[in-house]
C-alpha cells in the first residue's frame, strides 16, 4: 500500500490513525528522548501530529504540534520538556476529528486529583452519544476528538472511585468500540486495551528496569526494551513504584477481533502482534494468493512497501521468480505538494518508478495489499505498461474492501470504495490489468495464529459492535458548524 503525502489528495488507500507510547521509570530520567525514538518507530501509524508529555512526580510538561516526529521535536524542544519518571507519547492520523493542531495528543486534563495525560489509538462507536450527555452536564470540550470524550469520562468516574485504575475500569463499561490507551496519572502509568482488542498494545522492559508500553513491538526494539507480552483485550495494566498490577476483570467479555489491516498493512513488518509476526503473516497471505489465483508469468513484483512480503510469499508458492520491479524515492517528505490533477498524476512516478530493465517484455504478477479507490493503482499499472510490461496480473493480499470501518481507519462510508460499486471483472478493466484476484476471507483468517479472532467487517463481515448512529469522522466539526450557523440565525 502506498501512502499519499500530506498535501496530496488521498485517493487510494486507508489510513490508520495513531500510535501510542509510554514509559515508567523507577528513577528520574531523560524520558523525552526515549519517547522520541519510540514515536519515531511508530511514525507509520500517524504522520499528521505528534506529542509528548513528561511527568516529573506529578508536574506535567507537554508539547504537541502538527508534523512528523522529527519536525515537532528538534533537540531544543526535547530538552525543554525536562526529565521525569513517566512519559506518554502519541503520533496521530485523524479519524474522529480533523488534523487540526488542537486535536494533537496526548490530551492533558486538569482535575481535582491532579493532572492526567491520555493517548488513544482507535475509534469509539458511541462517542456522539457520550459527548452529548457530557455537554448536557456542563462539560466543555476543547477538541473535536473522541479521545477527549474518553478522558472526561475517566475524570468523572474518578469522583466516585478510590483510584485512577478503578476509574478507568468504571469508564470501560460506558465505552464501546476500539481503544488502546496509555495514561499517566501523577504517580502511575496505565495501559488499557478494549475488550475486543481491535488495536494492538504491548509491554516491554529495559535492562535498567523501565517499563515500556507501545502500540507495536518495533517501538520496544527502538528503545532497547525486551518484549514481555501483549496487553490482553479488556485488560488494565498499572505500573507504579509499587510494581506492576494487572486487572483482568474486563477480559473475556467479548470475542477478540483484532483489526485484519494491522497484519495486512498498518503494522511494521518487523513487529509481532499478539504472537504473530507481521512479515510472516503477509508472506502467508501471498502463498494463499498463489493457491487461489495461479497464473503463468515471468516474475512477481510487490508494490513497496506493504506488497513486498506478500510478493515474496506468492513467488515462493508459485515458483515464479521474485524481483524488485520498482524504485521508491525515499526523499519525498510530507511537504511534497501536488496542487493540480496533472501534478498529482506526475507525483506517482516521482515517488515510485518501474525499473524498465526488469519488467520490459515480461508477464508480471503485481502484488499489493488492497485496492480502495483504484485511482493511484491505475497510475502505477499504467507506468508498468509504459515501461514495457507485456502482461500485468494483479493480486491483492486482502479481500475486496466493501464496507466502512468504524474502529480506527478513515473510511467512514462506501462512497469511495471501488469494490462496493463494481465487480472484480469491472475493477480489472478500470485499473487496466489482464487479470485480478483477491485473497479470500477464509484464507485471510488463517494467515496468523489468531485464527478466527480477526475483524473482517470491512470485507462484508459482521460488525462486532453496534453501528454508530453518526460514523462521519468529522462529526464533531460539523456539530460545531451547525451551532455557529444557528447562533448567526438567531441574531
Q: Which residues are catalytic?
A: 18
Buried residues in 222-257 as b, exposed as e (16+ CB within 10 A): bbebeeeebbbbbbbbbbbeeeeeebeebbeebebb
Terminal Cα distance for the chain, rounded: 50
Residue 304 main-chain phi, psi, to 5 deg: -65, 145
3-state secondary structure of 478: helix
368 vs 401: CA distance, rounded Å: 13
217 vs 202: CA distance, rounded Å: 7
242 vs 232: CA distance, rounded Å: 21
Distances, alpha carbon 383 to alpha carbons 264, 376, 433, in Å: 24, 11, 12
Residues in contact with 132: Cβ distance below 8 Å, sequence separation at least 6, in sequence order = none
Helices (H) and strands (E) in the chain, counts: 16, 23
93 vs 10: CA distance, rounded Å: 13
7 vs 268: CA distance, rounded Å: 24
Residue with cell 519510540: 38
Do 434 and 391 touch, CB atoms closer than 8 A?
yes
Beta strands in 153-225 (DSSP E): 180-184, 189-193, 202-205, 211-214
384 vs 355: CA distance, rounded Å: 9
Do 371 and 401 touch, CB atoms closer than 8 A?
yes
3-state secondary structure of 395: strand
366 vs 392: CA distance, rounded Å: 7
Q: Tell me the three cell numbers of residue 386.
A: 509504459
**C-beta atoms surrounding 324 within 10 Å:** 14
Helix axis angle, 146-158 to 164-172, nearest 10°: 120
Q: Bridge partners of 387?
A: none
- In the Cβ-directed half-sphere of 87, how many Cα atoms lie within 13 Å? 31
Q: Tell me the three cell numbers of residue 143.
A: 477538541
Nearest CA to 96 out of 124, 60, 67, 68 is that of: 124
Amino acid at each position: 500500500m502506498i501512502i499519499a503525502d500530506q498535501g496530496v489528495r488521498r485517493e487510494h488507500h486507508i489510513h490508520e490513525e495513531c500510535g501510542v507510547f509510554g514509559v515508567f521509570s523507577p528513577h528520574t530520567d531523560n524520558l523525552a528522548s526515549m519517547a522520541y525514538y519510540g514515536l519515531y518507530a511508530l511514525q507509520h501509524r500517524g504522520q499528521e501530529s505528534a506529542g509528548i508529555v513528561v511527568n516529573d512526580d506529578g508536574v506535567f510538561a507537554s508539547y504537541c504540534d502538527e508534523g512528523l516526529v522529527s519536525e515537532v521535536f528538534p533537540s531544543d524542544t526535547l530538552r525543554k520538556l525536562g526529565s521525569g519518571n513517566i512519559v506518554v507519547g502519541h503520533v496521530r492520523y485523524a479519524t474522529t476529528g480533523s488534523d487540526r493542531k488542537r486535536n494533537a495528543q496526548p490530551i492533558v486534563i486538569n482535575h481535582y486529583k491532579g493532572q492526567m495525560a491520555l493517548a488513544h489509538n482507535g475509534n469509539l462507536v458511541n462517542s456522539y452519544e457520550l459527548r452529548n450527555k457530557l455537554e448536557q452536564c456542563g462539560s466543555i470540550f476543547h477538541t473535536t476528538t473522541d479521545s477527549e470524550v474518553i478522558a472526561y469520562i475517566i475524570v468523572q468516574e474518578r469522583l466516585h472511585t478510590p483510584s485512577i485504575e478503578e476509574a478507568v475500569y468504571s469508564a470501560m463499561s460506558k465505552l464501546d468500540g476500539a481503544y488502546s490507551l496509555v495514561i499517566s496519572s501523577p504517580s502511575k502509568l496505565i495501559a488499557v486495551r478494549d475488550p475486543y482488542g481491535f488495536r494492538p498494545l504491548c509491554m516491554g522492559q529495559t535492562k535498567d528496569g523501565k517499563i515500556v508500553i507501545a502500540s507495536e513491538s518495533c517501538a520496544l526494539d527502538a528503545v532497547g526494551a525486551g518484549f514481555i507480552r501483549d496487553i490482553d483485550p479488556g485488560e488494565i495494566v498499572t505500573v507504579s513504584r509499587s510494581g506492576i498490577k494487572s486487572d483482568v476483570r474486563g477480559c473475556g467479555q467479548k470475542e477478540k477481533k483484532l483489526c485484519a489491516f494491522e497484519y495486512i498493512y498498518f503494522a511494521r513488518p518487523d513487529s509481532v502482534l499478539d504472537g504473530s509476526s507481521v512479515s510472516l503473516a503477509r508472506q502467508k497471505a501471498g502463498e494463499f494468493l498463489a493457491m487461489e489465483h495461479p497464473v503463468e508469468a515471468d516474475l512477481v513484483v510487490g508494490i513497496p512497501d506493504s506488497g513486498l512480503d506478500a510478493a515474496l510469499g506468492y513467488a515462493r508458492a508459485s515458483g515464479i521468480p521474485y524481483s524488485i520491479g520498482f524504485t521508491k524515492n525515499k526523499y519525498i517528505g510530507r511537504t511534497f505538494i501536488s496542487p493540480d490533477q496533472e501534478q498529482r498524476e506526475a507525483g506517482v512516478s516521482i515517488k515510485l518508478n518501474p525499473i524498465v530493465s526488469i519488467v520490459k517484455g515480461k508477464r508480471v504478477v503485481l502484488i499489493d495489499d488492497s485496492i480502495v479507490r483504484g485511482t493511484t493503482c491505475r497510475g502505477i499499472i499504467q507506468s508498468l505498461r509504459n515501461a514495457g510490461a507485456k502482461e500485468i496480473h494483479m493480486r491483492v493480499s486482502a479481500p475486496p474492501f466493501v464496507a466502512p470501518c468504524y474502529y480506527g481507519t478513515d473510511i467512514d462510508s462506501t462512497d469511495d470504495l471501488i469494490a462496493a460499486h463494481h465487480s472484480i471483472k469491472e475493477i480489472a478493466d478500470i485499473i487496466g490489468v489482464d487479470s485480478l484476484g483477491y485473497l479470500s476471507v477464509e484464507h485471510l483468517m488463517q494467515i496468523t495464529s489468531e485464527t478466527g479472532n480477526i475483524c473482517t467487517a470491512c470485507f462484508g463481515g459482521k460488525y462486532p459492535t453496534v453501528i454508530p448512529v453518526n460514523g462521519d469522522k468529522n462529526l464533531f466539526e460539523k456539530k460545531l458548524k451547525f451551532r455557529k450557523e444557528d447562533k448567526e440565525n438567531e441574531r
